[in-house]
Protein backbone atom coordinates (compact mmCIF):
# COMPACT_ATOMS: atom_id res chain seq x y z
CA UNK A 1 0.00 0.00 0.00
CA UNK A 2 1.79 3.12 -1.20
CA UNK A 3 1.04 6.70 -0.26
CA UNK A 4 -0.57 7.20 -3.68
CA UNK A 5 -3.27 4.57 -3.26
CA UNK A 6 -4.07 4.85 0.45
CA UNK A 7 -7.26 6.88 -0.18
CA UNK A 8 -8.58 4.24 -2.58
CA UNK A 9 -8.08 1.37 -0.13
CA UNK A 10 -11.09 -0.58 1.04
CA UNK A 11 -11.82 -1.07 4.76
CA UNK A 12 -10.61 -4.69 4.52
CA UNK A 13 -7.26 -3.48 3.16
CA UNK A 14 -6.86 -1.08 6.08
CA UNK A 15 -7.36 -3.68 8.82
CA UNK A 16 -4.64 -5.09 11.04
CA UNK A 17 -5.07 -8.55 9.52
CA UNK A 18 -4.37 -7.19 6.05
CA UNK A 19 -1.32 -5.33 7.33
CA UNK A 20 -0.03 -8.46 9.03
CA UNK A 21 -0.45 -10.42 5.80
CA UNK A 22 1.42 -7.74 3.87
CA UNK A 23 4.28 -7.75 6.37
CA UNK A 24 4.54 -11.54 6.35
CA UNK A 25 4.50 -11.60 2.53
CA UNK A 26 7.29 -9.03 2.38
CA UNK A 27 9.36 -10.87 4.98
CA UNK A 28 8.88 -14.16 3.17
CA UNK A 29 10.00 -12.63 -0.13
CA UNK A 30 12.99 -10.87 1.43
CA UNK A 31 14.26 -13.83 3.45
CA UNK A 32 13.78 -16.12 0.47
CA UNK A 33 15.90 -13.76 -1.62
CA UNK A 34 18.58 -13.64 1.09
CA UNK A 35 18.76 -17.42 1.45
CA UNK A 36 18.72 -17.91 -2.32
CA UNK A 37 21.51 -15.49 -3.11
CA UNK A 38 23.24 -14.92 0.25
CA UNK A 39 23.04 -18.31 1.97
CA UNK A 40 26.83 -18.75 1.82
CA UNK A 41 27.29 -15.25 3.25
CA UNK A 42 25.04 -16.16 6.18
CA UNK A 43 27.01 -19.34 6.83
CA UNK A 44 30.26 -17.37 6.66
CA UNK A 45 28.83 -14.92 9.17
CA UNK A 46 27.83 -17.77 11.48
CA UNK A 47 31.35 -19.22 11.22
CA UNK A 48 32.85 -15.82 12.04
CA UNK A 49 30.67 -15.45 15.13
CA UNK A 50 31.33 -19.01 16.28
CA UNK A 51 35.10 -18.57 16.22
CA UNK A 52 35.23 -15.04 17.64
CA UNK A 53 37.06 -14.36 20.87
CA UNK A 54 34.31 -11.89 21.75
CA UNK A 55 31.35 -10.45 19.86
CA UNK A 56 30.41 -6.77 19.93
CA UNK A 57 27.11 -5.56 18.44
CA UNK A 58 26.56 -2.04 17.14
CA UNK A 59 23.42 -0.60 15.60
CA UNK A 60 21.24 2.49 15.80
CA UNK A 61 17.51 2.86 16.22
CA UNK A 62 15.28 -0.14 15.58
CA UNK A 63 17.97 -2.19 13.82
CA UNK A 64 20.15 -1.62 16.88
CA UNK A 65 17.37 -2.99 19.10
CA UNK A 66 17.12 -6.04 16.82
CA UNK A 67 20.86 -6.60 17.23
CA UNK A 68 20.50 -6.38 21.00
CA UNK A 69 18.00 -9.24 20.77
CA UNK A 70 20.63 -11.22 18.87
CA UNK A 71 23.24 -10.35 21.48
CA UNK A 72 21.01 -11.75 24.23
CA UNK A 73 20.53 -15.04 22.40
CA UNK A 74 24.26 -15.40 21.67
CA UNK A 75 24.90 -14.82 25.38
CA UNK A 76 22.41 -17.60 26.18
CA UNK A 77 24.53 -19.81 23.94
CA UNK A 78 27.55 -19.10 26.12
CA UNK A 79 29.37 -16.69 23.82
CA UNK A 80 30.99 -13.55 25.21
CA UNK A 81 28.90 -10.69 23.85
CA UNK A 82 28.95 -6.94 24.45
CA UNK A 83 26.58 -4.19 23.29
CA UNK A 84 28.54 -1.15 22.20
CA UNK A 85 27.55 1.83 24.32
CA UNK A 86 27.01 -0.10 27.55
CA UNK A 87 29.17 1.28 30.34
CA UNK A 88 30.74 -2.16 30.93
CA UNK A 89 31.73 -2.74 27.29
CA UNK A 90 35.52 -3.24 27.05
CA UNK A 91 37.82 -2.18 24.25
CA UNK A 92 37.63 -4.26 21.09
CA UNK A 93 40.75 -5.95 19.74
CA UNK A 94 42.28 -8.75 17.66
CA UNK A 95 40.19 -11.91 17.51
CA UNK A 96 37.00 -9.98 18.23
CA UNK A 97 34.08 -9.46 15.86
CA UNK A 98 31.91 -6.37 15.51
CA UNK A 99 28.42 -7.29 14.28
CA UNK A 100 26.68 -4.26 12.76
CA UNK A 101 23.44 -3.42 10.96
CA UNK A 102 22.69 -0.33 8.92
CA UNK A 103 20.24 -0.17 6.06
CA UNK A 104 22.05 2.67 4.33
CA UNK A 105 25.54 1.58 5.34
CA UNK A 106 26.31 5.23 5.98
CA UNK A 107 25.13 5.79 9.57
CA UNK A 108 27.94 7.95 10.94
CA UNK A 109 28.25 6.38 14.40
CA UNK A 110 28.26 2.84 12.99
CA UNK A 111 30.80 3.58 10.24
CA UNK A 112 33.00 5.32 12.81
CA UNK A 113 32.74 2.34 15.17
CA UNK A 114 33.50 -0.11 12.38
CA UNK A 115 36.54 1.90 11.33
CA UNK A 116 37.80 1.91 14.92
CA UNK A 117 37.27 -1.86 15.15
CA UNK A 118 39.27 -2.48 11.98
CA UNK A 119 42.11 -0.28 13.25
CA UNK A 120 42.06 -2.29 16.52
CA UNK A 121 42.50 -5.53 14.59
CA UNK A 122 38.92 -6.84 14.88
CA UNK A 123 36.74 -8.24 12.11
CA UNK A 124 33.63 -6.33 11.06
CA UNK A 125 30.44 -8.05 9.88
CA UNK A 126 27.57 -6.15 8.28
CA UNK A 127 23.87 -6.52 7.57
CA UNK A 128 22.84 -3.81 5.09
CA UNK A 129 20.82 -3.01 1.99
CA UNK A 130 23.77 -1.18 0.42
CA UNK A 131 26.55 -3.30 -1.05
CA UNK A 132 28.46 -0.23 -2.18
CA UNK A 133 28.62 1.65 1.11
CA UNK A 134 31.32 2.86 3.50
CA UNK A 135 30.24 0.29 6.10
CA UNK A 136 30.30 -2.65 3.68
CA UNK A 137 33.75 -1.57 2.51
CA UNK A 138 35.09 -2.05 6.06
CA UNK A 139 33.60 -5.52 6.49
CA UNK A 140 35.07 -9.00 6.22
CA UNK A 141 31.56 -10.48 5.95
CA UNK A 142 28.56 -8.74 4.38
CA UNK A 143 24.96 -9.91 4.06
CA UNK A 144 22.87 -7.81 1.67
CA UNK A 145 19.20 -7.52 2.59
CA UNK A 146 16.93 -6.57 -0.36
CA UNK A 147 14.76 -4.12 1.57
CA UNK A 148 13.93 -0.44 1.45
CA UNK A 149 16.37 2.02 2.96
CA UNK A 150 15.07 4.24 5.77
CA UNK A 151 14.72 7.30 3.54
CA UNK A 152 13.06 5.40 0.68
CA UNK A 153 9.41 6.45 0.69
CA UNK A 154 8.64 5.34 -2.87
CA UNK A 155 6.88 2.13 -1.80
CA UNK A 156 8.81 0.21 -4.46
CA UNK A 157 10.99 -2.03 -2.30
CA UNK A 158 8.47 -2.19 0.56
CA UNK A 159 4.99 -0.89 1.27
CA UNK A 160 5.91 -0.55 4.93
CA UNK A 161 7.04 2.66 6.59
CA UNK A 162 10.69 3.70 6.41
CA UNK A 163 13.18 0.90 7.17
CA UNK A 164 10.69 -1.45 8.81
CA UNK A 165 11.31 -4.39 6.46
CA UNK A 166 15.07 -4.15 6.94
CA UNK A 167 14.74 -3.95 10.71
CA UNK A 168 12.37 -6.93 10.83
CA UNK A 169 14.73 -8.93 8.64
CA UNK A 170 17.68 -8.10 10.89
CA UNK A 171 15.75 -9.59 13.82
CA UNK A 172 14.88 -12.75 11.87
CA UNK A 173 18.43 -13.20 10.58
CA UNK A 174 19.74 -12.78 14.11
CA UNK A 175 17.44 -15.51 15.37
CA UNK A 176 18.41 -17.73 12.43
CA UNK A 177 22.11 -17.23 13.19
CA UNK A 178 21.51 -18.10 16.82
CA UNK A 179 19.45 -21.17 15.97
CA UNK A 180 22.10 -22.47 13.58
CA UNK A 181 24.86 -21.94 16.14
CA UNK A 182 22.72 -23.59 18.82
CA UNK A 183 22.21 -26.68 16.65
CA UNK A 184 25.94 -26.80 15.97
CA UNK A 185 26.68 -26.66 19.68
CA UNK A 186 24.65 -29.78 20.46
CA UNK A 187 23.50 -28.23 23.72
CA UNK A 188 20.01 -28.73 25.05
CA UNK A 189 17.58 -25.96 25.94
CA UNK A 190 18.02 -26.97 29.58
CA UNK A 191 21.76 -26.28 29.31
CA UNK A 192 21.14 -22.78 27.95
CA UNK A 193 18.40 -21.85 30.42
CA UNK A 194 20.63 -21.08 33.47
CA UNK A 195 22.06 -18.10 31.54
CA UNK A 196 18.68 -16.33 31.56
CA UNK A 197 18.50 -13.50 34.04
CA UNK A 198 17.17 -14.41 37.48
CA UNK A 199 17.04 -10.78 38.64
CA UNK A 200 13.79 -9.85 36.92
Q: Is 167 a catalytic residue?
A: yes
E strand or H helix at 68, and its extent? helix 61-76
In three-state secondary structure terms, 26 is helix
Q: Which of 4, 26, 132, 167 is catalytic?
A: 167
Q: Which residues contact 173 (CB under 8 A, 6 or more apart)?
A: 31, 34, 42, 127, 143, 145
Q: Assign residue 86 a region: left if phi > 0, alpha if psi is -120 to 50, beta otherwise? A: beta
Whole-angstrom distance, CA of residue 153 vs CA of residue 149: 9
What's the longest Cα–Cα distance across the chain?
Answer: 56
What is the set of active-site residues? Answer: 167
Amino acid sequence: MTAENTDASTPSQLGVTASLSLILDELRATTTEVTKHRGDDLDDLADTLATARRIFVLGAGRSGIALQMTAMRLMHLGLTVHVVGDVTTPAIGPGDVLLTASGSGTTTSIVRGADAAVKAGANVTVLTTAKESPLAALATAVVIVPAAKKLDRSGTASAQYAGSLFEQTVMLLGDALFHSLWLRSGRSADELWPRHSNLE
